[in-house]
Structure 1
């Protein structure tokens, strides 16, 4: 991890601080939940975690840019094009209902390219991280991380298919295609949010799809999935995070051998 060793070490430091805040608020009786303008929920844990990460980055990487889900964009002040992208709690709906499947997502981008990513799910006692060219790892912390790798499943009939929800696919007119994949796959489950991608990176499932997500939802996942040997594109076949100029993107993540077929089923376009 020569090129990004210091950045990954910092990402773990940020995750340690984030975990301390989020775990203390998980299942708290006085947890405050508000509704954002887009009608999605936000808890006091979401805002507190992002504030903690912003404060630490201001100390350790003051020249880098920062994009966070709750407080928006802070442009870089240095001459480089480095930017941290943070989702303080991915899976807020799980968090506020007491479901332990939620995580803090931390990514480092150079230009538009995610070059390092970390996912910390403290209620599950697990983290995943990767940097470009250095492989993907999982474990409770940096010193005890072990390499992870996607599966070698090549046939959909043998594959485990994962999705976040069906509503978004109905909205974009692809629900029929998703349902047919579910019928043809060996197994299908909706683990949702970050977790499906991490299970894919570990080889526990083979396909994860999402019709709509923001840059902070996907940036940290890209290095982990791809460094584990997987493929992650948008529905047009462009390498993730794809085109986020309109504020959102889509995701088709697979172990590789299954990608062209799944992308064709969902989009009608060939994989790139």
Structure 2
């Protein structure tokens, strides 16, 4: 009789992905402790060229994670919001895709929804992922073929299949006007961490998460795998699966939901009104 490991291997279960997930979990918790040292303590803030804020906490966490993860996997590539891009990543079999603090404005304002986002990407898709919200004590994780968990408890997207009464978060014009509003979708407010907004569909805290164009690999890769392994979907406005670790790391407007709800959202995505990104 085959043992459990042989059965999982025959089903495509990859223990390397599990090992990477464990590494990401450990690094995320350690990075969370580091970030909390700056939280609610008036960290120094700068404005980047794209007019988005960056704090000394973002930079400290980025430095820590790069040292910690690359020491453990020196043959992996590296892509992070707060690191200079190195095109060598394009030639690597596996790549770390990192957002040291997703939701920096929430971090600055003392909000609780900011997260630390970590993923390993292989063949342009995430294969191991962790999203950690230190203030809320929530750690989402997933590995390909290994399911998704929140604080070690499996999560599965609720099978909502109606837009009427569905709770959505994202840019207000896309929800409050147009086809979603006419279908009865309810505005659940704005969640400043895009990655956290996306994974909220895995627990039913949200039914639909939306994002305007120009999100980046580091905003999405970890959340993408967590949603996928929770039997949900993350798709762009043309209903395409997202690909990562390409020369261009920017993405079109997108949505995350259960598969059943996605079949209703996909046809109307091109008609949604997404505002231009605010500067400052």
Query: Which bracket does the TM-score occupy, shorter chain normalised?
Result: 0.7 to 0.9
* In structure 2, C-alpha distance between the alignment counterparts of 1:63 and 1:266, rounded to whole Å: 39
CA deviation profile, 1:191-220 (whole Å, cap 9, x unmatched): 242222121011222111112201100011
Q: Which residue of 1 aligns with 2:124?
A: 112
Q: Which residue of 2 aligns with 1:153?
A: 160
Residue 99 of structure 1 pairs with residue 111 of structure 2 = yes
CA deviation profile, 1:52-94 (whole Å, cap 9, x unmatched): 0001122101110010101133456898510000000000000
Higher mean C-alpha displacement, 226-235 vs 187-196: 187-196
Q: Which residue of 1 aligns with 2:205?
A: 204
* In structure 2, C-alpha distance between the alignment counterparts of 1:161 and 1:55, rounded to whole Å: 37
Q: Matches of residues 91-240 of structure 1 in structure 2 within 5 Å? A: 91-139=103-151, 145-163=152-170, 165-166=171-172, 175=174, 179-189=178-188, 190-192=190-192, 193-212=194-213, 213-240=215-242
* In structure 1, C-alpha distance between the alignment counterparts of 2:245 and 2:177, rounded to whole Å: 22
- TM-score normalised by L of structure 2: 0.84
* Deviation of the 1:147 alpha carbon: 0.1
- Are the counterparts in 1 of residues 121 and 244 from structure 2 also a CA contact under 8 Å? no
SS in structure 2 at match of 1:42: strand
CA deviation profile, 1:135-162 (whole Å, cap 9, x unmatched): 10001xxxxx010010111111132122
Q: CA RMSD in A?
A: 2.4
- Are the counterparts in 2 of residues 159 and 185 from structure 1 also a CA contact under 8 Å? yes
* In structure 2, C-alpha distance between the alignment counterparts of 1:242 and 1:235, rounded to whole Å: 16
After the TM superposition, which segments of 4 or more aligned residues of structure 1 sit over 6 Å from their partners?
none
CA deviation profile, 1:95-118 (whole Å, cap 9, x unmatched): 001111100000000021111111
* In structure 1, C-alpha distance between the alignment counterparts of 2:129 and 2:89, rounded to whole Å: 22
After superposition, the Cα gap between the structure-2 partners of 1:210 and 1:204, relative to the gap in structure 1 and judged at 3 Å, is same
* In structure 2, C-alpha distance between the alignment counterparts of 1:110 and 1:201, rounded to whole Å: 23
Q: Which residue of 2 aligns with 1:172?
A: none
Q: Higher relative CO (CA 8 A, sep ≥ 6), structure 1 or 2?
A: 2
Q: Which residue of 1 aligns with 2:26?
A: 13
* In structure 2, C-alpha distance between the alignment counterparts of 1:12 and 1:120, rounded to whole Å: 8
Q: Which residue of 2 aligns with 1:48?
A: 60
- Are the counterparts in 1 of residues 95 and 245 from structure 2 also a CA contact under 8 Å? no
* In structure 2, C-alpha distance between the alignment counterparts of 1:183 and 1:248, rounded to whole Å: 30
Flag structure 2 segments of 5+ consecutive residues without an equivalent.
1-12, 272-280
Q: How many pairs were matched up?
A: 255
* Deviation of the 1:251 alpha carbon: 1.9
After superposition, the Cα gap between the structure-2 partners of 1:184 and 1:115, relative to the gap in structure 1 and judged at 3 Å, is same
Flag structure 1 segments of 5+ consecutive residues without an equivalent.
140-144, 170-174
